Structure 1
């Protein structure tokens, strides 16, 4: 036998023995050798691999120490989205969840003689760490990713390999050929305290809490740093699985444990909601004694078949809930109040606090919302305040301890000039519109009037403009935007399209490849849909769905820009206040200049005619109603329309004509005449009617068949991964054809598009007999529908 053969055999034996010790230590919590013996074996393995580097394998325990630092994290699209959980904060929330589960499963309800059928639940502590996905192929760890936004996460493969209790190769046998394991990476309390002690000794900044320490450790570009951190992993579920798994959640987790994956030692089964409540109370009482931070308990329907039957809603499963622990409150001192400037110029007071531990987190800042809240609390600088933190919610001040107020306490005043740009700060006005009149009052928000000349507003506006659901310019994170603005390279969203290679490569964190990638992403964003462009503009109170509605209904930017508030209210879910925000935004000369510059660089897609649904959608009585004429109600407006037939005839009607209108009171007739005796009201009414004609919404306009959209009235679901387009693009294509795109499958679903990695939605569709299309069939259907 050669030396190499002998070394290979010894290496294999050492690796196997060390893996077994790791399994007993991290998974079973039953170590069989002292630390000194483990260390001796590990050092022997290191020495032998140093002598025979050609025999080093990726699965070796020594390979957890990390490789070369990465330039940046890549993106991973989750084939099955990593959904968030609904939350229960009160006992009634948990009871309601159990009721919805039993109703969804059509189980017998309780009555005077019994509590009805009970559901089997799994119970696990909700670890306060970072959710991750681990992909195993043929038992070997090939990828690790963060949850991200649920659809796309960061590739942290090099870093997860350094976490000691994550097996690089699954143990035993019987695991699926492809297995995606989901769980939480966290930092135990003892490890966190030791890490902070080392940070302080080396002159570094301590971490605020274990969760931040874990998340920051996993996002290190240098895996060696991650390897030096005391991280642990706990499995809580499964994503993609090419193979068979047991029929209950608890059995699946125990199978994972046999394969070397750590699961919670607190995992238990509960029969019915009463046992769930008992588990919650028990672990809550033991919370402070646990080796790790938790912020609640996760309850899941145990039977996988029942999970599939219940399905999902929006972005969360119907079969699971996180029951959070009550928020914890502490007292601390308010050291100062500073003012931050947001995207719309809003000046927000932020409390700077003497650092205090609240629910396991060091809190040094808290929101004060606005100056009305400051007045309501009666808070002054120097006060002892009550601070509350609930889950991931920003800490807030609940009140003050008045008797502890020091003699030198100072009142909180809004700055007269913006703390960022020095522009004037003005208080907003609230305009309430009623029948024929407007009332103006002071709002709670103060705003900097500097707009994009204010760097704070400009930065936030650019960050929103480039975000994934807006112009989707990948690579322009917050820090990059700050650099671009601070260096004077970007003073408007339009300036992004004039950036040159030489300007980008000198930015911190950029090299040749990343520079070219950013330029390519900017280039790719030059052809946005109208809906994305409208959303990217950051119009106050206009979210993604309202932007889609504006684009779909009015069909062109030109119409949206000139649309009068009253005309906009003919669109569903657009109230008068939002309509005025939209109109004011496009009337603002500064905004018009920014849009004009943007249109020099981008070519809008999907512009066209007014949507058929809104052709001739307006009526004369509705127009009269939108004019808010005092004492003219719905019935009166209809009678006027029936009698005169046109707006012009109503405007010019004299007193005698109005007296001929059936059941129109003298008070209403006088009010109508007084309203139209004011030239401004006549001009406004005529302008609204003229725009309705120009848009094709007028009652005399040509009607079109809205039902002509081929998928009108249908509900589609997208699941899995599409190769030719993103799921978001697929959704846009379907919505453009009139379909509603839902997040869960039901008996009312028309069709399901299932790409690779489709999971519970595909199973539900098959169970219900819903039509299922693969990507090839989906593309063929789109081609046929588009003619």
Structure 2
């Protein structure tokens, strides 16, 4: 074997391995290697291809993004037209469709109009993705062309963009694929990726997309594939232009999946009308839990032979139909904009709309987020607007219809005084921290400065404080809190614990028993777990999980309240912005006063202790230096500095000659570090941060403790269905106490699923992925064994 042959063989092996890993990760959602191993293989392939550019092939995983931007899209004529589907909007439409295909197929003889052609026909069912239809052509197993649907006959060539979609294989897996295979499906954008992308666009002051479908379409029609490559697109096949791959629609999809083509995990085969309706209802119920938008369900006669017998109309196949869900977007008129005050004082504009039916619900209000969003939309009172509603999510205005704007339309303006208390309204300042510097800019949020003297802020703060996941004080609902605030009996959370029997019984709706029950509930809430208390305080950006992290790691309110941002950032899942929010909350004199007042009222925190043993000695000098974010100093440079100086004191005392002696430290980087350390404020912060690491035992000089890991450390559990002997909250609490993370959805990373009564899609997903499933009795036995 020649040297070139050997290199070719290495390249082919690497490409095959990476292709298989892509299939496991993107199509099956069941990765078989860690990310680091995948990255190592990818870098190895890149290196070999750079050394041997003449051996690079079009189907190489490194070729997903290549070439210069296009000046325009060329046209592609579809060998087989991409037809539309007929629509059903009611059960009667579906009944007519099933009856029609049953009469023409293997059901009752034609002419027997009174026969029920129900269970005779099998249907392949899939959710109807709200994306962009595309066709992808493979020749000899290699992706050679991709095109949009266009007018059904001619589409646009988007090959360079489709190649960037990670779950689209550049080369088919397996064997026995035809010489030419045209795969058809939808390109869509998952909701999580859509929200993250829009958030980035807002941060960059760019226009966000109105919905995932627009985002997918806009991303696919980029002339520069490098832009498309940054968008979180996915592809899902619904079939092939060839009808001879298998004898049924479902078998065709399974064959495509074996060749590496992603297909819907929700695909099912059902019989007759009842099977179709049950599938439609099931998808409708689960629609809002999916990570992608669907606007209906597609039903196709499963038998390819029957499909051929049924044939086509002018624009659509007779053997398929899309049963649409109620519309989630409608047009209506913006009648007014009102401003609401939230728990943190944020002033939020709310649209008052001419009532309209959206997704089966009458909508008269919609969120507008903030004034920046109003400006982006170009919104004026009196405008006709498009309103979108998705499940339980608050409806929102996504678009203005400018051609319908009336002559008397009025601009929307932020009030200068709080609509609740009359205090001043101020725009927040946005602090961006990067490379050791802070820059200020105007934020998107406006706040009332009245704090707890503002009735709206006080009411919202109290509602949060007494809620189930916070202090869990039964009997204190919104109407009762309204009375307490309006009668000025409560002006801070601490005042709840000062309520007397006389004050409570004087409230509307209270008698002797209900009064005593409320006072007993208040007394019972005085011994909360530390995490609950932290969550109840309403610290900005600190949700239930972050509160648990703070309690579990720093151990006590005393430690948490004095923790510096530089210390907090070493905790799991606590970033720079959250760290500063926590620090600023406890440094604020008003907040500190409220906390101390609560403690004086008899709050006794449970579960307090020391800083977690796992944090002891967890911060290295190199990591500490890297945290400064000095320009030019990343992980490797920080490691060299740490090894060279050994201690922070020596580094702080270093002069120019000392820094120039550090191996491979560029002069520009040394200068930036010198300037950073000469700044008195920076030196003070660095020394204070080191001192706190010593106090908390996290410093590199502290000996690490090799503690015994929790029994379920590193495992992810999912609870589904109804448990009879435990509440969901109690089960979650016990699992977390054993070290497990409790997630809301099942994935390949799930360790165990606990399935109670009436467990649904999560149980089915776990069974598909081969994940361990426990019923309630087995779960209780497992808890008893581990505790």
The interval holding the TM-score normalised by the smaller chain is: 0.5 to 0.7
Mapping 1:196-211, distance limit 5 Å: none
Residues 339, 350 of structure 1: 8 Å contact kept: yes
**Cα displacement string for residues 54-94 of structure 1 (whole angstroms, at most 9, x for unaligned residues):** xxxxxxxxxxxxxxxxxxxxxxxxxxxxxxxx996558479
Instruction: Name the residue aligned to 2:694.
Output: 693
Equivalent-residue separation in structure 2 for 1:722 and 1:396 (angstroms): 36
Cα distance in 2 for residues equivalent to 1:497 and 1:610: 30
Once the two structures are superposed, the pairs formed by residues 277-288 of structure 1 within 5 Å of their partners are 283-284=323-324
Distance change in 2, residues 1:633/1:756 (3 Å): closer
Cα shift readout 1:124-175 (whole Å, capped 9, x = no counterpart):
38999xx99xxxxxxxxxxxxxx9x99xxxxxxxxxxxxxxxxxxxxxxxxx
Q: Which residue of 2 aligns with 1:120?
A: 269
Per-residue CA deviation, residues 196-245 of structure 1 (Å, 9 max, x unaligned), is: xxxxxxxxxxxxxxxxxxxxxxxxxxxxxxxxxxxxxxxxxxxxxxxxxx
2:37 aligns to what? none
User: Judging changes above 3 Å, is the alpha-carbon distance between structure 1 residues 419 and 703 closer, same or farther for their aligned structure 2 residues?
Assistant: same
| Partner in structure 1 of residue 676 of structure 2 | 675
Query: Paired residue for 2:577?
Result: 577
Deviation of 1:696 (Å): 1.0
The yes-or-no answer on 1:327 pairing with 2:476 is no
Conserved 8 A contact 1:371-1:444: yes
* Correspondence 1:589 to 2:589: yes
Equivalent residue of 2:411, what SS? coil
- Alpha-carbon distance, 1:267 to partner: 13
Counterparts in 2 of 1:505 and 1:108: CA distance versus 1, 3 Å: farther
Partner of 2:416: 416
Cα separation, 2, equivalents of 1:414 and 1:708: 53
Per-residue CA deviation, residues 235-274 of structure 1 (Å, 9 max, x unaligned), is xxxxxxxxxxxxxxxxxxxxxxxxxxxxxxx999876699
> What is the Cα-based RMSD across aligned positions, in Å?
4.5
Q: CA deviation at 1:350?
A: 2.0
Question: Which residue is equivalent to 1:341?
Answer: 341
- Paired positions, count: 527
Q: For 2:278 and 2:709, locate their aligned partners in 1 and report how far apart those are by CA, in whole Å.
A: 52
In the alignment, is the contact (CA less than 8 A) between 2:717 and 2:742 conserved in 1?
Answer: yes
Unaligned runs of 5+ in 2: 1-126, 133-185, 191-233, 240-248, 290-295, 308-316
Q: Is the 8 A contact 1:556 1:607 kept in 2?
A: yes
Q: Contact 1:734–1:740 at 8 Å: present in 2 too? A: yes
Decide whether the 8 Å contact of 2:384 with 2:405 is kept in 1: no
Shift of 1:781: 3.3
Map Cα deviations across residues 277-304 of structure 1 (whole Å, 9 max, x no partner). 99995654xxxxxxxxxxx2xxxxxxxx
Aligned residue for 1:124, secondary structure, equals helix
Q: 1:407 to 1:740 in 2, by over 3 A?
A: closer
CA distance in structure 2 between the partners assigned to 1:613 and 1:360 by the alignment: 52
Superposed, which structure 2 residues align to 1:163-174 within 5 Å? none
Contact kept, 8 Å, 1:745 with 1:765, in 2: the verdict is no
User: 2:640 is matched with which residue?
Assistant: 639
Q: 1:517 to 1:755 in 2, by over 3 A?
A: farther
Task: Give runs of aligned pairs for residues 659-674 of structure 1, distance below 5 A.
Answer: 659-674=660-675
In 2, distance between residues paired with 1:439 and 1:279?
61
Report the 3-state secondary structure (helix = DSSP H, G, I; strand = E; otherwise coil) of the residue aligned with 1:442: strand
Paired residue secondary structure (2:658) = helix
Measured against aligned partners, the alpha-carbon deviations of 1:509-540 in whole angstroms (never above 9, x if no partner) come to: 44444433333333332222111111111111
SS for the counterpart of 1:123 is helix
| TM-superposed deviation, 1:354 | 4.1
> Alpha-carbon deviation of 1:544?
1.5
Structure 1 partner of 2:137? none
Higher-RCO chain (CA-CA 8 Å, sequence separation at least 6)? 1
| CA-CA distance at 1:635 after TM superposition | 2.2
1:370 is displaced (CA, Å) by 1.1
State whether residues 236 and 263 of structure 2, in contact with CA within 8 Å, keep that contact through their aligned partners in structure 1: no
Whether the aligned pair in 1 keeps the contact of 2:299 and 2:320 (CA below 8 Å) is no
Tell me the SS of whatever aligns to 1:337: strand
- Counterpart CA distance in 1 for 2:563 and 2:620 is 17
Alignment-derived partner of residue 704 in structure 2:
703
Report 1:221-260 matches (<5 A).
Answer: none
**Secondary structure of 2:410's partner?**
coil
Q: Per-residue deviation at 1:355?
A: 4.2
Q: Please report the TM-score for the alignment, with normalisation by the length of structure 2.
A: 0.58
Cα-to-partner distance string for 1:405-436 (whole Å, 9 max, x where unaligned):
55554332211111111111100111111213
Partner SS, residue 526 of structure 2: coil
Residues 615 and 697, structure 1, Cα contact 8 Å, conserved in 2: yes
Q: Name the structure 2 match of 1:500.
A: 500
Q: Deviations over 1:28-54 (max 9, x none)?
A: xxxxxxxxxxxxxxxxxxxxxxxxxxx
Matches within 5 A, 1:549-560: 549-560=549-560
